Chains A and B, each alone.
Chain A
């Protein structure tokens, strides 16, 4: 008996080892290394000798006005795109849950943006919103509402708005699928009972649907918040942070510092500040949802 359980433990270890080694080598070790880097003066000029400078990188990040600007950009991006995607996704899901014919077709059409490549979608959006782009052509030549091309991409909020529209357009499909699955789990008899109690459609939505899919809403909220703070490709492709980093978000600013400016220490500190903020936000979201339960 003793022998057998030992063997089992050995077998267990052998089976776990490949996964643990990979996880350790490619996830745990890089994170630990990054933490060390964030406390060092590490840039192109100090590639050979990195000096331990404690919290200086963190101080530099927090004092940096550009960091504050890109942090606000990321917060605004998240505050706009997350509720936007969720609301539209939920509306589409509710409309589709009542559809009997061609429901698969509608689902596929709504899901297509999700599987479109970020790079290609970004380039298309850039083409549409360019000063010489499709939208301006439509406005000036077809509708004739303005004679001057509008500079959609050239200001801070203009560029960010285009990226946010892309983010929402691309995210609706995912939300639709998630909410559609949740809606199908809501017991029909609850709706029938509500009907008997004399509830209208609005009351049914808030008193039956929403409480039933609360778990899914929380899941989507947390996933999308993380996704919102991780926005990178669209910003990089559409504005590239121009003008002068005013449309940069946390990730594009981090990328710029690490790989263009060579400030690895600064970028490492920035990534930990970002991870901590995200963790904190997830905890708050959990708490808020729990409180709403009680």
Chain B
């Protein structure tokens, strides 16, 4: 019994000593910040991050270590939600722009323009349109990291066969979609336009380009915006094409987007930079071109997608802020552009790497593209929008009726 006690005492002393030295060391030890992202573990982006960017950042900032953890896209979202409730959040994370309002409402994000005195220096280097995705209720909760958008894809041969020019305006677009629809040489039905869903990601580019909008600029009211004449006209035009069998893709029984475009059943569509690789893999023979989204009274306005880099309420805010500035700086953005990430840093956008990359056509689109409303209730608003669009297309409601009702629903949701 005695020996056991002695042994325990010695063990305890040893543990205390170790703990003591550990504490002493940590006083001078570098700060380690945790960075969660969803660059796939095997991707070129992750290679660049771990082998180029982080070593460079650590050498420039001695005393700061970066612990980067890769997650699956959907897993990261849930993991952040769960970590928020258990108080084990990372210091910095790369977030889909659609998640930010949700996280902000949970109160786990740092308001950067209030917390960081040099916020304007950092944000000023980034595109305004991309930074708008981080603005919630008048404050900025992240820096824009990379972006994407949709542009017009058209099947070159189908346009040539129908004698149709690539549409530059929305009037020409309606004409082109109509002329391109019908039956092909095999007697199969073909459609001028493919739209795979009726959510904001799909409908917003038309609403905006027609000169309409979803909410007021401060995102507090929808009445007068989602039911404005321009918005109603956009919805009406879209629905008429769908009813006339010229625009399809959102029905359960429709041909999937890539297959339909690759096999010449859909003549045109709006898609993101990822489509290039998809088509090259599945339909290498299809001849297609790209163009900006046709312009209307609102100009040529596409929808913004992409990622922001956000800071959470942890103790390492200064180190985290340095890392965020580094990741959105010209060097890191140019390196990431080599892997296909569209930069949002204005200086990086002028580099030769970026200009020659396959996503060059997207760069123009991004300059005028808009973000979907950055409000916490967006997913519910998006669902309501889809429902109303469905009812307009099925003929249950007129565009005006549907948008009036949607305005009331949006107003209610925006108040939450």
Contacts and interface: CB of A to CB of B under 8 A. Distances in A.
Interface of A: 44-48, 66, 126, 129-133, 149, 151-154, 159, 238-240, 242-247, 260-262
B386 A159 contact: no
B252 interface: yes
B253 A47 contact: no
Given A48-B85, A242-B251, 9 more contacts: A44-B106, A48-B106, A154-B251, A238-B252, A243-B252, A244-B391, A246-B390, A261-B379, A262-B379
A89 B383 CA distance: 40
A166 to B, nearest CB: 14
B246 to A, nearest CB: 15
B81 interface: yes
A48 B107 contact: yes
B396 to A, nearest CB: 10
Give chain A's interface secondary structure class: loop
Given A149-B189, A152-B253, A44 B387 contact: no
Given A153-B251, A154-B252, A159-B252, A45 B379 contact: no
Interface string B236-250: 000000000000001
Contact of A48 (B84, B376, B383, B391): B84
B88 interface: no
Interface string B374-416: 0010011001001101110010000000000000000000000
Nearest to B80: A47
Contacts of A47: 81, 84-85, 106
8 cross-chain pairs, A with B, having the tightest CB-CB distances, nearest first: A244-B390, A131-B253, A153-B253, A153-B252, A154-B251, A244-B387, A45-B105, A239-B252
Contacts of B250: 242-243
Which of A130, A244, A246, A247 has its CB near the most chain B CB atoms (within 10 A)? A244
A132 B394 contact: no
A129 B251 CA distance: 12
B187 to A, nearest CB: 9
B380 A261 contact: yes
Contacts of A66: 387
Nearest to B391: A244
A238 B386 CA distance: 19
A245 B394 CA distance: 14
Contacts of B386: 244
B72 interface: no
Contacts of B251: 131, 151, 153-154, 242-243
Nearest to B245: A148
28 contacts: A44-B376, A45-B102, A45-B106, A46-B106, A47-B84, A47-B85, A129-B253, A130-B253, A130-B254, A131-B251, A131-B253, A131-B254, A131-B255, A132-B254, A132-B255, A149-B189, A154-B253, A238-B252, A242-B250, A242-B251, A243-B252, A244-B387, A244-B390, A244-B391, A246-B390, A261-B379, A261-B383, A262-B379
Contacts of B380: 261
Nearest to B377: A45
Contact of A45 (B252, B376, B389): B376
B386 to A, nearest CB: 6
Interface string B176-210: 00000000000001000000001000000000000
A44 B253 contact: no
Contact of B379 (A129, A153, A240, A260): A260
Nearest to B385: A244
Nearest to B254: A131
A57 B127 CA distance: 42
A20 to B, nearest CB: 29
A25 B5 CA distance: 39
A113 to B, nearest CB: 22
Nearest to B265: A132
A158 B204 CA distance: 29
Nearest to A66: B387
Contacts of A244: 198, 386-387, 389-391
